[in-house]
Structure 1
Amino acid sequence: MSHAILTIFILFFLFQIGAFAKKKGEMKDTHNFALQWPLYLYIFTVMISLTLIFAGIYYIMSFSSPILIDSNQGSVMKDHNFAEMIYYSGATLLSIGYGDLNPIGPIRYISLFEGFLGIVMPTVIFISEITNKHKED
């Protein structure tokens, strides 16, 4: 059931991106958009890439020792799978921090760095875009 819901969510999300791109294209002659469509795609791509890179780091590090505590169960997770690492990485990168998974050991510091990147990267990209727009004008 969860796979079906996830599939529906992904299809809906892709449909919304397509609808946004189509509507933006129709309105380009009458509206001035400050931020261009490729910027959103670029930020999305960067954030997805960072999520997958850190998920890979966490997954590889989980081979040597447990790296997460399941706070719902109150126990150290001994078996990790890549899907859990993507979830943990995404929650950390987006600074959501549900609290259901907590890092232990050196992963705590890597998680802090990932959370920092999740805040700084979109900011840097937006500031860079604004600076480029200002130079063009």
Structure 2
Amino acid sequence: MALLIILLFICLCIGMSLRMLFIPHKIKGKRVSFENFIFLAFVYLTVLIGFGLIYIILELYGYVVLIEGGQNMVGSFLNRLETGLYFSAITLFSVGYGDISPIGIGRLIAVLEALIGYTIPAAFVARAVFDMENKH
């Protein structure tokens, strides 16, 4: 039960962060500003950490979602956390080195994260263009 509550909270945080891309008055100005850059960085950071925690929580509860070098993740919690956050970043930014692979439900989660990684910049640019057109 605690796992479900934690996962729902993480998904809520990710959803709220992504939702902010679609609020018209949040992105200001006609060009990229430092404020907009920080805003975009925090959206990415929220999604990256959120998915990293999802991978780790599932691993801690006995679900094998990531394999490294053909073997299940092993080691201390900090080692697993580092691996989960690393895999999350590599997946979100669509680099995909191949040193860590998702399996089982991890594949679906990784696909969802990669899709979000592709749509964040598009939503950010679309929102900025939409706001510029509304101001004219």
- Pairing partner for 1:70 from 68, 71, 74: 68
Matched letter for residue 56 of structure 1: L
Q: 1:22-76 CA distances to partner (integer Å, 9 max, x unpaired)?
A: xxxxxxxxxx9722221111111100110000011111000113221223xx323
The higher relative CO (CA closer than 8 Å, separation ≥ 6) is in 2
CA distance in 1, matches of 2:30, 2:80: 42
Correspondence 1:95 to 2:91: no
Q: What pairs with 1:22-101 in structure 2 (closer than 5 Å)?
A: 34-63=31-60, 64-71=62-69, 74-79=70-75, 81-101=80-100
Query: Which residue does the alignment assign to 1:136?
Result: 135
TM-superposed CA distance for 1:77, in Å, is 2.4
Contact 1:94 1:115 in 2 (8 A): yes
Structure-1-length-normalised TM-score: 0.70
Secondary structure of residue in 2 paired with 1:81: helix
Deviation at 1:126, TM superposition (A): 1.4
Q: Please tell me whether the aligned partners of residues 66 and 101 of structure 2 are also in contact (alpha carbons under 8 angstroms).
A: yes
**Do the aligned partners of 1:70 and 1:77 also contact (CA within 8 Å) in 2?**
yes
Quick one: distance in 2 between partners of 1:93 and 1:104? Answer: 17
Superposed, 1:88-127 pairs within 5 Å as 88-127=87-126
Two-structure CA RMSD over aligned residues (Å): 1.8
Q: How many residues get paired?
A: 104
Unaligned runs of 5+ in 1: 1-31
Return the TM-score normalized by structure 2.
0.70
Larger Rg: 1
Moved over 6 A (4+): none
Cα separation, 1, equivalents of 2:102 and 2:112: 13
Task: Tell me, in whole angstroms, the C-alpha distance in 1 between the residues paired with 2:39 and 2:73.
Answer: 34
Which residue does the alignment assign to 2:10? none
Separation in 2 of the partners of 1:134 and 1:39?
17
State the AA in 2 paired with 1:134: E
Counterpart Cα distance in 1 of 2:71 and 2:55? 18
* Distance in structure 1 (CA, Å) of the matches to 2:63 and 2:113: 20
Name the structure where helix makes up a greater proportion of residues.
Answer: 2
